[in-house]
Amino acid sequence: MPPEKHQLVYTLTARCRDCHRCLRVCPVNAISIANGQASVKPERCISCGACIRECPQGAKTYRRDIAQARDLIASGAVVAASVAPSFAAAFPDWKGGRFVSALRRLGFAVVAETAVGAYYSAQACAKAAGNGSNICGACPAAVNYIEKYRPELAAQIMPAASPMVAHARLLKTALGQDAKVVFIGPCVAKKSELERQDAAGAVDVALTFEEITEWLGKSGIDIASCEESAFDGLPRGDSRLYPVPGGFLKTAGLGDGFMNPAAISVTGAAEVKDALLSVPPEVAVEPLFCREGCINGPGLKTADGLLKRRASVFSYAAKAQTAKTGGAKTGAAGKFTDDEIRRACAAEFSPRPFKSGVEISEADIQRVLEQTGKGEPEQQLNCGACGYRSCREKAVAVLEGMAVPEMCIPLMRRRAEQRADRIISDSPNGIVVLDSSLSIISANPAFRTLFSCSDDLPGRRLSSVMDSAPFEKVAAGAQESVDSVYRDAPAGIFCKMLIYPLREEGQVIGIFVNMAQHDGGETAGLQRAQTVAQARELLEHQIDMAQHIAMYLGESTAKSEELVKKIIALSEEGKDGLDNTL
């Protein structure tokens, strides 16, 4: 069950892995992060379904309304199915005609194409174009976006109902106002369209193709076993092309959106947002929030690629146009009067701007930026990895309770590296990092103390400090690693030595556990305990970091984790193991 009874898009918390992908793809940043969970804020959401389509764990989903549709049929009312033209992509080739029969087996008295309403909706838009409105309102996600986030453009939406609403009204005109209409399509946002005041009473339930497939499965209806049959009614013009880019414009007689400078078809959230910033009011715009249009809706699940889906729509449209036949209830689509068509296509769009209600000052924003190490402009990378376009937007989101500072990948990586550096620096074991020629890159204080070296080690050859023969074997690949004892009696050095390579980086690591004081007393035991405690602290820290920054963990962080594991292995061998080695 969704967290709120009426919430349309929500998170399945058991599946959420805190990867933040949904936040990065949400075009309006309607995802909040708290306690390792991503949740959808319905007051911000435009129901586009981008998070549903993109979540790799399937943690984002939407409200299922199959039970409501089933109840309508069980009530004994005349129930009509209005099937979106993108059905040809969901049920291509031979499945299309059999899908119609499958719907009738479910109990639908009338099965008609939404394209019937699309034709009249497009004609209404064509009449409105050039009269102060230039934005097609067929895509409910685009309408939601404009009314919430670009309210100044609401008046430019063409005052024509969407094909779904127009068709439902026409069906009820033909079948009687007591008839019920269930829309079936690829779009989650269509469910939100039912809640619009100007669409009230038109559509009773909106289902996705995914839902109708689930319903058929639960009812034991196999499309392959159904006979072929035709839809009730016959759409006009090119209305069956509505689900592909340019389909609306072509149906409305405004061109195809590609070669006509007076009309443009735009698909994809980022492209739509950009177009709405710059398209002049005299240019007709067909905004489709799903990339490549309705054939890529979040409620259309198919293994076919977008090109195949597009081809299926064109193929069906061409065949259906040639056939020019309707089903047994052709009259259900009816011949309508001009007044009936006008009422069916009536629509109103108005601003309903979203406001967070949180008062935020410049000082507040600066404070958050400084807390995350981004107080200066040059520190603000604006990388977008957190899901926000800029560090400033992210800071605002933190203040609004939508984000947490730890969502900043560079910040978490920097903290992880600093933590690793500090613990390795404080380790009582000597650690040295060499390049492929065995020149010293870095050495911690314990190594410098053990070998009585000054701080100017970087750049010097290891051979100037100690016998480098074991390192040469590892660097040359003659040995994969070295785990032995190193003695230098004149210098008073007696230690356990571990050498291993980092092949991809061309580096060699040496770790030394000082055994000169090893007498079975407290000193060695305390040293080992301190080493293990510090190393485990770092590993726990790295695990915590990984949960926050996942695949974005830098190579240096991974290297330090490997190094710490080596330290633990050395230190936990204990007194007996060392005695055996000696």
Distance CA 353, CA 85 (A): 32
Average pLDDT value for the chain: 87
Identify the domain containing residue 233 by its residue range. Answer: 64-344
Regarding whether 181 and 286 lie in a shared domain, the answer is yes
Cβ neighbourhood burial of 217 (10 Å; 0-12, 13-18, 19+): exposed
Is the CB of residue 167 less than 8 Å from the CB of residue 184? no
Averaged pLDDT, 395-414: 88
pLDDT reported for residue 416: 78
* Alpha-carbon distances of 484 from 437, 443, 580, rounded to whole Å: 22, 20, 11
Regarding whether 201 and 82 lie in a shared domain, the answer is yes
Amino acid at 127: K
Q: What is the CATH number of the domain that holds 309?
A: 3.40.50.1780
Return the minimum-mean-pLDDT range out of 81-85, 346-350, 381-385, 420-424.
420-424
Regarding whether 384 and 332 lie in a shared domain, the answer is no
For the record, the structure tokens of 466 come out as 């100690």
349 assigned to some structural domain:
no
pLDDT reported for residue 323: 62
Is the CB of residue 176 less than 8 Å from the CB of residue 78? yes
Distance CA 475, CA 477 (A): 5
Regarding whether 95 and 134 lie in a shared domain, the answer is yes
Q: Where is pLDDT greater, at 237 or 581?
A: 237
pLDDT reported for residue 568: 61
Regarding whether 492 and 387 lie in a shared domain, the answer is no
Among candidate residues 63, 93, 115, the one where a domain is terminated: 63
Q: What is the CATH number of the domain that holds 549?
A: 3.30.450.20
From the CB of residue 399, how many other CB atoms can be counted at a distance below 10 Å? 18
Confidence of residue 6 (pLDDT cuts 50, 70, 90): low
pLDDT reported for residue 322: 67
Q: Per-residue pLDDT for 433 more than 90?
A: yes
Distance CA 424, CA 412 (A): 18
Q: Where is pLDDT greater, at 88 or 4?
A: 88
Regarding whether 203 and 101 lie in a shared domain, the answer is yes
Among candidate residues 293, 320, 344, the one where a domain is terminated: 344
Task: Specify which residues 208 forms β-bridges with.
Answer: 185
Distance CA 501, CA 418 (A): 23
352 assigned to some structural domain:
no
Q: Per-residue pLDDT for 567 more than 90?
A: no
Regarding whether 161 and 42 lie in a shared domain, the answer is no
For the record, the structure tokens of 228 come out as 């072929």
Number of domains into which the chain is organized: 4
Distance CA 198, CA 79 (A): 22
351 assigned to some structural domain:
no
Regarding whether 47 and 182 lie in a shared domain, the answer is no
Q: Per-residue pLDDT for 531 more than 60?
A: no
Instruction: Give exposure, 137-159, as e/b (b: 16+ Cβ within 10 Å).
Output: bbbbbbbbbbbbbbeebbebbbb
Q: What is the CATH number of the domain that holds 15?
A: 3.30.70.20
303 assigned to some structural domain:
yes
Regarding whether 191 and 292 lie in a shared domain, the answer is yes
Q: Where is pLDDT greater, at 48 or 519?
A: 48
Cβ neighbourhood burial of 551 (10 Å; 0-12, 13-18, 19+): exposed
Is the CB of residue 534 less than 8 Å from the CB of residue 426? yes
Regarding whether 73 and 156 lie in a shared domain, the answer is yes
pLDDT reported for residue 564: 60
In the chain, the largest separation of any two C-alpha atoms, in whole Å, equals 109
Instruction: Tell me how long the chain is.
Output: 582
Q: Per-residue pLDDT for 553 more than 70?
A: no
pTM to 2 decimals?
0.76
